[in-house]
């Protein structure tokens, strides 16, 4: 049995694919920037923060890390409107990705912070740095450097996980693939092309993160 | 093969063909058979709510079941419900396992070549639904509006063709997504089937979806075998009477939560 690939539909539907790819890129850029920022804050709370804030962050992290992303997404999009909090599908997808990555990156970054030797905190203090300055310059950057590969992987995982946002009618890359296959009935080709685009996006994202990591940590080391 | 076995084979083949020919050529009297038997055998759906499904008491229930009981009652016989699937409902009729098919059956040229239909007894259509406050009587009224639809469904394909380019079409993965989006207020207008709209109405939402305009109409008919003039006249008479005395509207209200369309 042989399958005849037919990519003729690409000529008609490539704008959908480009649009979907662009939406996926926007989702991961927003999700990564705000998600990692949230993760850094939560990691600081869990490792060094005030005692009263720790249980709140712990509950948030455990709640998000132990429930499926799709359910979190449905909760925000279909559930919150009943509580009077209505948001569009793109905002819901962005929010879901931020809180999801926030929780996962919190645990990764916390591991990096807790691996910081005690002496470095004392070194910061002896240089008359405030607690914030110590955290900012002495603790966080080396911590991020330690866990950068793990964090990069988590960002790529969230990017790939963003494919489920098509369930709430966000017109991302997966939505484009589903749309094309329900119109052209070329399911294999549509998913073949979208798989290839996801793979390319993931590789580019890893390269970008590697580049950012290199800039971020090298410059500090040279100072 | 020698000549003797050939002849025997030929005779046997002809003999087998005889009952088939006689049943299709002679004017069958199903109406008489039903009266003699005392039961009306009806093919009903079992997996297509609200037309036919199995209730918590394991008994079949739905629009089609109530319709079958109504017709049996008017004929003065007992209804014998035969659960069928959408693929085998017409074969059940053709092989005389049932007298009538009341199984959300729509008309098509292919089906009309095989069996006969009564007048329509149930509405089945897809259209654009929205709460009373929204006015949209035709596709061009959707300009600039956001409308939810199930991706790949007939409504999606039609709407994509007829809606103005400024209409935002939100495509959900399945009917449940479309229903949830409407119920949670994420979309105010949906294009879907009257059955899905009935499922929303059954939940008594604060915003009730009502039909704004039709996209495609294919009402349901009672199906029976060809050459059954007496049966057809009788069934059509019962349907017309049920429409007039409101008993059909009551069934529609019960299962579809909406009045029968005036043109049915």
CB within 8 Å: B184 and A81: yes
Q: Is B207 an 8 Å CB contact of chain A?
A: no
Asked if residue B118 lies in contact with residue B235, where contact means CB atoms within 8 angstroms, the answer is yes
- Min Cα–Cα distance to chain A from B173, Å: 6
Instruction: Reply yes or no on whether the pLDDT at B234 is more than 60.
Output: yes
pLDDT of B203 reads: 82
Report the C-alpha gap between B153 and A218 in whole angstroms: 54
Q: Which residue of A has its CA nearest to B158?
A: A183
| Lowest-pLDDT choice from A12-16, A126-130, A182-186, B173-177 | A182-186
Task: From chain A, pick out residues whose CB is under 8 angstroms from the CB of B152.
Answer: 182-183
Find, among A173, A167, A133, the residue nearest to A25 by Cα. Answer: A173
pLDDT category of residue A49 using cuts at 50, 70 and 90: confident
CB within 8 Å: B170 and A169: yes
Which tens digit of pLDDT belongs to each residue from B160-178?
899 999 999 999 988 888 9
pLDDT category of residue A82 using cuts at 50, 70 and 90: confident
Report the C-alpha gap between B141 and B130 in whole angstroms: 12
B78-84 and B189-193: which strand pairing? unpaired
pLDDT of B3 reads: 62
Nearest to A78 among B148, B173, B180 (CB): B180
Nearest to B151 among A77, A79, A182 (CB): A182
Nearest to A179 among B171, B180, B183 (CB): B171
Highest mean pLDDT among A95-99, B46-50, B202-206: A95-99
pLDDT of B21 reads: 46
Which has the higher per-residue pLDDT, A145 or A221?
A145
Task: From chain A, pick out residues whose CB is under 8 angstroms from the CB of B157.
Answer: 183
DSSP H or E segment with residue A142: helix A141-161
Name B214's Cβ contacts closer than 8 Å, sequence gap at least 6.
B125, B126, B127
What order do you get walking across the sheet with B116-122 strand by strand?
A: B78-84, B39-45, B100-105, B220-224, B116-122
pLDDT of B28 reads: 67
The two structure tokens encoding residue A60:
């948030």
pLDDT more than 90, % of chain B: 53
Instruction: Reply yes or no on whether the pLDDT at B71 is more than 80.
Output: yes
pLDDT of A20 reads: 95
CB within 8 Å: A182 and B177: no
pLDDT more than 70, % of chain B: 89
pLDDT of B22 reads: 45
- Min Cα–Cα distance to chain A from B187, Å: 10
| Lowest-pLDDT choice from A70-79, B31-40, B200-209 | B200-209
pLDDT of B20 reads: 47
Helices (H) and strands (E) in chain B, counts: 10, 13
Instruction: Reply yes or no on whether the pLDDT at B98 is more than 50.
Output: yes
Rg, chain A, Cα only: 21
Mean pLDDT, chain B, rounded, equals 87
Which tens digit of pLDDT belongs to each residue from B5-41?
665 655 555 555 544 444 444 456 888 899 999 999 9
The two structure tokens encoding residue B35:
């009266």
Report the C-alpha gap between A162 and A164 in whole angstroms: 5
Which tens digit of pLDDT belongs to each residue from B126-150?
999 999 989 898 888 999 999 999 9
Instruction: Reply yes or no on whether the pLDDT at B123 is more than 90.
Output: yes
In chain B the domains, ranked by start, together with CATH numbers, are 28-123+220-256 (3.40.190.10), 125-217 (3.40.190.10)
Instruction: Reply yes or no on whether the pLDDT at B224 is more than 60.
Output: yes
In chain A the domains, ranked by start, together with CATH numbers, are 11-222 (1.10.3720.10)
Report the C-alpha gap between B100 and B89 in whole angstroms: 10
B78-84 and B39-45: which strand pairing? parallel
Q: What is the mean pLDDT of residues A143-167?
A: 94
Chains A–B, number of C-beta pairs less than 8 Å apart: 42
Instruction: Reply yes or no on whether the pLDDT at A70 is more than 50.
Output: yes
pLDDT of B206 reads: 86
pLDDT of B74 reads: 93
CB within 8 Å: B180 and A82: no
Q: What is the mean pLDDT of residues A205-222?
A: 82
CB within 8 Å: B185 and A167: no
């Amino acid at each position: 049995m042989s399958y005849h690939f037919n990519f003729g539909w690409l000529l008609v539907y490539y704008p959908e694919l480009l649009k979907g790819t662009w939406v996926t890129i926007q989702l991961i850029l927003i999700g990564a920037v705000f998600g990692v920022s949230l993760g850094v804050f939560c990691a600081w709370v869990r490792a060094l923060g005030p005692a009263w804030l720790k249980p709140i962050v712990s509950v948030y992290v455990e709640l998000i890390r132990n429930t499926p992303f799709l359910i979190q997404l449905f909760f925000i999009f279909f559930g919150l409107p009943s509580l009077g909090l209505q948001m569009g599908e793109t905002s819901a997808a962005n929010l879901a990705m931020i809180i999801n990555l926030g929780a996962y990156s919190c645990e990764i970054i916390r591991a990096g912070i807790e691996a910081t030797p005690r002496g470095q905190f004392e070194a910061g203090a002896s240089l008359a740095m405030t607690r914030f300055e110590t955290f900012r310059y002495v603790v966080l950057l080396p911590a991020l450097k330690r866990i950068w590969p793990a964090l990069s992987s988590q960002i790529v995982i969230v990017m790939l996980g963003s494919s489920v946002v098509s369930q709430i009618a966000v017109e991302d890359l997966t939505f484009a693939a589903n749309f094309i296959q329900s119109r052209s009935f070329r399911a294999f080709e549509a998913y073949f092309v979208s798989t290839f685009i996801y793979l390319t996006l993931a590789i580019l994202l890893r390269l970008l993160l590697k580049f950012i990591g290199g800039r971020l940590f090298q410059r500090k080391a040279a100072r | 093969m020698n000549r003797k076995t050939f002849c025997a084979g030929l005779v046997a083949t002809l003999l087998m063909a005889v009952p088939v020919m006689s049943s299709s050529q002679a004017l069958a009297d199903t109406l008489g058979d039903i009266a003699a038997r005392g039961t009306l055998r009806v093919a009903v759906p079992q997996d297509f709510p609200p037309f036919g499904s199995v209730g918590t008491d394991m008994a079949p229930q739905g629009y089609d079941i109530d319709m079958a009981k109504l017709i049996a009652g008017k004929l003065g016989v007992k209804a014998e419900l035969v659960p069928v699937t959408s693929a085998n409902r017409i074969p059940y009729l053709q092989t005389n396992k049932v007298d009538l098919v009341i199984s959300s059956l729509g008309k098509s040229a292919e089906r009309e070549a095989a069996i006969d239909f009564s007048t329509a007894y149930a509405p089945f259509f897809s259209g654009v639904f929205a709460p009373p406050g929204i006015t949209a009587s035709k596709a061009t009224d959707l300009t600039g509006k956001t409308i939810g639809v199930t991706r790949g469904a007939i409504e999606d394909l039609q709407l994509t063709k007829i809606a103005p380019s400024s209409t935002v079409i939100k495509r959900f993965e399945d009917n449940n997504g479309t229903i949830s989006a409407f119920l949670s207020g994420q979309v105010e207008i949906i294009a879907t089937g009257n059955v899905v709209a009935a499922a929303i109405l059954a939940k008594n939402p604060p915003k009730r979806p009502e039909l704004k305009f039709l996209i495609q109409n294919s009402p349901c008919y009672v199906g029976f075998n060809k050459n059954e003039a007496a049966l057809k006249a009788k069934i059509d008479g019962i349907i017309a009477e049920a429409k007039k005395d409101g008993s059909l509207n009551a069934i529609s209200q019960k299962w579809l939560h909406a009045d029968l369309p005036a043109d049915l």
